[in-house]
């Protein structure tokens, strides 16, 4: 298949489309089947629980919380220790759960400006609004415990019905781990998750990356190089899928080129790849990286796709306007947002966690890929 004679609108690769059930409808994840806890959620601790654990009266706990009346250092220390041990938060979220109320949901994200994050939040907000909920967004800038605690406390000072975490990066992983056990919570992820007891809606990035890599190998490329996005703790699912396909085909697995999320990071990676004449195919961890790679290759005299084929990830709105138009893995992030809110809504209605949902991305073939130069 010669990408140079494809139209700019792109075409979906047949074999991948055939593996998508029910015309792109997400399907329950076999990977999570039976692993999501169906037990009723833990009730939030109340002030009486703190008093009982600290061995003091309820008014004493109130005085410690309000700071209105002096309390002895010893009693204050006991109360604070009980608050920490129980995960007690004297806030609107706990009150709303106790009263079976709450018209807001919290969304915790490590970023709100990147395409995938912003589009997922868009989907959550659309679905929440249709169900009568408002959305409160809390940005978790780093994964350190103090930052996560501040973000969670700030959000849960409001009457929250539940929470959604974008588990796309280390801050998201840390935020999910920091959710109090009494709060209904679900997560959106890519390629799986770090938590087995939490319902997830997730993109199967590992499968999609493997399919994209096989597509390049089928074009006659001897191997495929990978410019990787930052991972969410372990190696990214996109990197693992790339490795899976190369090892399954019995071809050499080149060293991973680590990058951040930005096009300039992709440019630096592309400049390095351009100096190696053996490089004929590149899978980039996202479209912004792919665009940077393509610009660097062109600046260094390597033509796309005649000399080097490039595949991106996400189907950024600019990908089909790039020159040449970018072959990419299309991710339905807005749909992911709809699905993850549906999981939370189901949990709120039933009191039990719902089965996780797996979504399979599509490979969209455009002009940035073609047969290997010697093929």
Residues 218, 128 within the same domain: no
Q: What's residue 143's pLDDT? A: 93
311 part of a folded domain: yes
Residues 64, 21 within the same domain: no
374 part of a folded domain: no
Residues 246, 296 within the same domain: yes
3-state class (DSSP) for residue 256 = coil
365 part of a folded domain: no
Residues 362, 20 contacting (CB under 8 angstroms):
yes
368 part of a folded domain: no
236 part of a folded domain: yes
372 part of a folded domain: no
Residues 126, 177 within the same domain: yes
For the chain of 375 residues, list the mean pLDDT of each consecutive stretch of 10: 42 42 39 40 72 84 68 84 78 50 86 94 96 94 92 85 93 92 90 71 95 98 95 83 97 94 94 96 97 97 97 94 96 96 93 92 97 84
C-alpha 20 chain-centroid distance: 20
Rounded CA-CA distance 234/237 in Å is 9
Residues 212, 309 within the same domain: yes
For the beta carbon of residue 265, count every other beta carbon within 10 angstroms.
21
Give the tokens for residue 7: 């139209």
Residues 283, 268 within the same domain: yes
Sheet-wide strand order for 362-365: 11-12, 362-365, 327-330, 309-314, 281-284, 225-228, 257-258
Residues 301, 265 within the same domain: yes
Adjacent-strand bridge partners of 189: 167, 202
370 part of a folded domain: no
Residues 166, 22 within the same domain: no
Q: What's residue 26's pLDDT? A: 45
User: Which CATH number covers residue 67?
Assistant: 1.10.260.40
132 part of a folded domain: yes
Rounded CA-CA distance 357/216 in Å is 28
Residues 323, 230 within the same domain: yes
Residues 136, 160 within the same domain: yes
Residues 174, 231 within the same domain: no
Residues 222, 328 within the same domain: yes
Region of residue 106 (left: phi > 0; alpha: psi -120 to 50; beta: else): beta
Domain count, the chain: 3
Domain that holds residue 178: 90-203+335-359
Last residue of a domain, one of 88, 119, 154: 88
Residues 295, 270 contacting (CB under 8 angstroms):
yes
**pTM of this prediction?**
0.76
Q: What's residue 51's pLDDT? A: 84
Q: What's residue 41's pLDDT? A: 53
User: Which CATH number covers residue 177?
Assistant: 3.40.50.2300
């Amino acid at each position: 298949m010669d990408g140079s004679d494809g139209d700019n609108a792109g075409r979906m690769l047949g074999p991948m489309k055939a593996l998508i059930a029910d015309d792109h409808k997400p399907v329950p994840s076999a990977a999570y089947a039976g692993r999501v806890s169906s037990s009723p959620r833990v009730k939030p601790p109340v002030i009486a629980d703190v008093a009982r654990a600290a061995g003091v009266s309820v008014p004493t706990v109130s005085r410690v919380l309000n700071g209105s009346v002096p309390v002895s250092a010893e009693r204050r220390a006991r109360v604070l220790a009980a608050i920490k041990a129980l995960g007690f938060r004297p806030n609107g979220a706990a009150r709303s759960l106790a009263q079976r109320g709450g018209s807001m949901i919290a969304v915790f994200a490590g970023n709100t400006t990147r395409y995938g994050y912003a589009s997922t939040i868009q989907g959550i907000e659309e679905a929440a609004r249709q169900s009568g909920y408002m959305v409160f967004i809390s940005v978790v800038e780093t994964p350190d415990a103090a930052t996560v605690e501040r973000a969670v406390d700030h959000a849960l000072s409001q009457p929250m019905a539940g929470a959604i975490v974008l588990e796309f990066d280390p801050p998201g992983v840390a935020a999910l781990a920091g959710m109090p056990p009494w709060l209904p919570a679900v997560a959106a992820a890519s390629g799986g998750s770090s938590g087995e007891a939490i319902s997830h809606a997730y993109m199967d990035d590992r499968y999609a990356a493997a399919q994209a890599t096989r597509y390049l190998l089928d074009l006659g490329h001897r191997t495929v190089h990978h410019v990787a996005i930052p991972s969410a703790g372990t190696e990214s699912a996109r990197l693992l899928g790339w490795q899976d396909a190369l090892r399954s085909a019995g071809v050499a697995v080149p060293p991973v080129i680590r990058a951040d999320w930005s096009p300039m990071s992709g440019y630096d990676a592309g400049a390095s790849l351009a100096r190696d004449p053996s490089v004929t195919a590149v899978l980039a961890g996202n479209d912004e990286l792919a665009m940077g790679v393509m610009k660097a290759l062109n600046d260094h005299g390597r033509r796309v796709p005649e000399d080097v084929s490039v595949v991106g990830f996400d189907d950024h709105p600019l990908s089909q306007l790039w020159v040449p138009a970018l072959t990419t893995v299309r991710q339905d992030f807005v749909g992911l947002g709809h699905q993850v809110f549906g999981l939370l809504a189901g949990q709120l209605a039933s009191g039990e966690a719902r089965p996780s949902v797996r979504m399979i991305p599509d490979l969209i073939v455009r002009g940035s890929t073609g047969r290997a130069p010697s093929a």
